[in-house]
Structure 1
Amino acid sequence: MMKTQRKVLVALTLMTAGLLSACSPEDGSSAVKTVTATVSAAPTSAEESRPAPTASPAGAAPTSEAPTVSFSMPNEVGKGLQEAQDDVQAKSGNPLFVTGSDDATGAGRAQVLDRNWKVCSQSVAPGTAINEDTRISFGAVKLTENCPS
């Protein structure tokens, strides 16, 4: 462990111990203890040095939003439900991209094991440009069943 990391770890440990003792005074009083810690760690080598962030150019508005990921919705009808979900995640470049599903027969069954279901319909048409805020839902039936017409 590097010297700087060790200092930070020790400081965090001391801060945690201080906070825990402040939460539960042993004498039963309601006194609050204040714990203050200062951590300053200078880089130990040129490799650890990082340039400071630069200011925005004059007149440029600061941006606080991350860029929006956009992709074309693939055709998932006929694929396994798990495969369709994996495909949307891969195409979106976001492993946390969430899709929904429901029982296409209308029986209200839950898709507990997605690998046992196949996609009959999708709420977003293939080729539609979508982003991470788009809600996608698949209508599915068990692998041994036919899709409703």
Structure 2
Amino acid sequence: MKFCAPIAASVLVAGGLLLAGPASAADDSAETWTMPNVVGKTLAQAESSVAGLSDSVTFRTVSTDMTGFGRQQLSSPNWTVCATAPRAGGTITAKTTVVLGVVRLHTESC
């Protein structure tokens, strides 16, 4: 099953906007990290990659079913990451919620 990139992007953006929370004033002293490229990895691998960015900060990650069916990701090794917000190379702070758009591993495609 293939999914159109614009549809996937709009689902991910909508999910990211709902989860991002209110904007706050920029803190110039806040530490930042670069979002790794986790597209194509399992959800478990992606979450591990994000968590491994810092030993002192716990990053908030959420996943969303890119098919639009709203399925929960109960077993993270069984899902493949198709898209992220922020995108690979983007900036992450301690307050960033990383959104991972996923489909079922081996049965669905991005």
Normalising by the smaller structure, the TM-score range is: 0.5 to 0.7
- The yes-or-no answer on 1:145 pairing with 2:110 is no
1:65-84, aligned counterparts within 5 Å? 68-84=30-46
Structure 1: give runs of 5+ residues left out of the alignment.
Answer: 1-66
One-letter code of the match for 1:146?
A: E
One-letter code of the match for 1:101?
A: S
Q: Counterparts of 1:102 and 1:89 in 2: how far apart (Å)?
A: 18
One-letter code of the match for 1:83?
A: Q
Q: Name the structure 1 match of 2:52.
A: 90
1:131 pairs with one of 83, 93, 99: 93
Q: Counterparts of 1:102 and 1:92 in 2: how far apart (Å)?
A: 24
Aligned-residue offset at 1:113: 1.0
One-letter code of the match for 2:69?
A: A
Contact 1:92–1:132 under 8 Å retained in 2: no
Contact 1:69–1:92 under 8 Å retained in 2: no
Q: Deviations over 1:46-95 (max 9, x none)?
A: xxxxxxxxxxxxxxxxxxxxx63311111110000010001001013346
**What value does the CA root-mean-square deviation take over the aligned residues?**
1.9
Aligned-residue offset at 1:125: 1.2
Aligned residues: 83
> Percent of pairs identical after alignment?
35
Q: Name the structure 2 match of 1:111.
A: 73
Aligned-residue offset at 1:97: 1.7
Contact 1:70–1:92 under 8 Å retained in 2: no
Runs in 1 of length 4+ with deviation above 2 angstroms? 92-96, 145-148
Residues 94/119 of structure 1: CA separation in 2 closer, same or farther (3 Å cut): farther
Higher relative contact order (CA 8 A, sep 6+): 2
Q: Deviations over 1:11-69 (max 9, x none)?
A: xxxxxxxxxxxxxxxxxxxxxxxxxxxxxxxxxxxxxxxxxxxxxxxxxxxxxxxx633
Residues 85/120 of structure 1: CA separation in 2 closer, same or farther (3 Å cut): same
